[in-house]
Structure 1
Amino acid sequence: MEPHTVVLQGGSVCDVTAGEAVRADIVISDGVIQEVGPDVTPPRSATTIDATGLFVSPGLIDAHVHVTAGTADLAAQAEFSPFYVAAQTQGILRGMLERGFTSVRDVGGADHGVAAAVADGLWAGPTVFFGGKALSPSGGHADLRSAGRQVVDNHVCCPNIGTLCDGVDEVRRAARNQLRTGADHVKIMLSGGVASPTDRVDSLQFSVDEIEAVVEEAANANRYVTGHAYTARAVNRGLQLGLRCIEHGNLIDASSVALFREHDAFLVPTLVTYDYLSKEGAEAGLPAASQAKVGDVLEAGLHALDLASKGGVKIALGTDLLGAMHRHQSHEFTIRSQVQTPVDILRSATLVGADLVGQPGRLGTVSEGATADLALWRSDPLQDAGVLAQPAAQLRMVLQRGVVAHEA
């Protein structure tokens, strides 16, 4: 059977590398871009999409999501039926796709089943690069027990974002269990966080030996380790011990920037989540103990982004939203525009994200040989990042592997 061909005609292609939009047609066959150029002559059997006056960007990549987090009260969610959590997840994924995100990296909660549900067409949503359950020490960021609760339930069916493991042997076993299921990365908790009830944001988590064990197991499987960390102390420790990526990093300093450059590591700031945790966290179910910690990282995040951006760090886009706050995903673009150019912002959400998930040349670019994950905008996002922040008004169409997945 002859492959089905789709041609986008008359649009302006956002060349994210060059930072400019150029008039070009796009020929797609079997979900892969075959040709990009002016005035392409399509085959007679091709389906033509009129993109006149529109700007075609690569599909967006959110490199820090929790697609199973249907509430900000993650401890309460641990008691939910996994079927109910799956129903919530389906809606969360659909919303992301309708905002122009064609790929996401889940860093705690989603498993191979979630990724397969999208890949097999059972759910509408972005392609999911998953890490399974994040690894946490007892009392760490993924230990969601209150101070008075003693029972630990690490059963795979429980809808927790993480699993508890202490000591090198347990940590190795936990890492291997995630990698066994096809995880694209392993996430560990290097410091305390906001959503966990009993740890401090400025704490260090896991021993050196434990961290090195996870890094070794990931390397053995040709995967990588990413780490949740806020303070420069925690971030620097993780980078020095071999982590490829740091999540958040709100309290980094100049020494951290130097280490990111030295180790060619990625940073994934998640500024929008603190903005809305402060505004809507209580309503979304964030416990009082966690609400009290938001201020510790909220103000510092923008400064850290500015520091890393000026220092040449590889910065991907992330949001880290929970519960009803997922709808604010695109507001991350507005926040970043305070310190980054529109070109750098779109690169973070495309080229850099693709590199992070191990898909350079396949995702994050509108070029021959790339997967035809595309977003069609009414205005040029390379000139104004506000375009990306307003998908309801600006996003005309989303193609996923060459098929129209959303149209407005």
Structure 2
Amino acid sequence: MRMKLLCRLVGAALLLNVQINAMAEMPGYVKAARPHVGLLKEDVDRVRNSLALTGPDVFPAMQGGMSFVITPRRKALSDRAEQPIFGSIQTKKNGIFIRHIDGDSADGKKIRFQLGFQDAAIDTYAAMRSFELEADRDATIELSWDKTSVVLTVNGTSYNLKWAATMPLPWSAKDQLYTFGGRTGEVIKDFKLWNAAKQLVAQHDFLDLELQEPVQDYLSSVDANWTTLQSCAQTANPVRQNGSLCDLAFQGRGMITGAASRFALAYLLTARPHYMAAARRLADQMFLLKDNTTQGLNGQQLKLAVGGNGPCLPASGPWAFCTTGCMTKSMTAIFPRAMLSLAITLAATVPCWRKTSRPPSPPIMWAAATI
């Protein structure tokens, strides 16, 4: 699932015509051997704008409405039988969901959907309606709810749904999940959510439904790294532990650059401040390691173990990725003092930086979160 996100990001970068030298000091073409594709902030923005990663400040729980256009697709082998479109079924909670239900027509021309309202107080649906849409054709869905009823409108045809008699009124979507998903190739256009006063509280011009869940899975893995990082000791002489992110001084390139780039990409996609804080904390730990006194192999001072390259950090500092989409050696003009200090520290303490003028590779992206 994460590969969908990565492929979409790389695809966005390629669409910008990689022959153009958009980044200083870097070749503007993709090499056949060990290829690198420069990823600009605009590439990330393009992907982010097709996602719904944050919901409205206040979801219209008691009364509101939504409308959108969806292009239904036939079920692919990788699709779930009951794939959620909006929200999701929850246990003993109040919320709205729209999902696929298994059993599309035999000829594949009709795609089945279900709208459901759940209430924690009852075991049945508070309100429910199944409906069909034509495959591969845009369909307009409109939905409104208040304390007395629900109205579902499909391509201009309205259906009035009554609240279940056993449900305690008034109903509220107090546990609503603001999440989207979909089958392979499905998109939503012109999504609008409004409150009881008919004020727009959320709007998305285009949502790539297939990409929503892989991105949420990706962010969940980054959150796991964030949790681990909070327990890491901030010290110049760390004790080797269990091979986690806390063992920064003993880890190889994959762990160091992998965790750092995940924090950066998560921040670029969401602008959530705790991802920026995690990237900065990782940088702080690297600063501390310049004073490390631990003796490594052959009696050398341990600085940063980076896989088969020994104490050579493959990328950071001058070749770091920044939020303006640039890669340059002109540190003082672009990066803040913290990044400049890190570059100076690395240049003074990491042997390969002093011995070669060739930029380290591949570029590390966590600098994006320190700007």
Same fold by TM-score greater than 0.5: no
**Structure ranking higher in strand proportion:** 1
**TM-score normalized by the length of structure 2:** 0.26
Using CA pairs below 8 Å that are at least 6 residues apart, which structure has the higher relative contact order?
Answer: 1
**TM-score normalized by the length of structure 1:** 0.24
Which has the larger Rg?
2
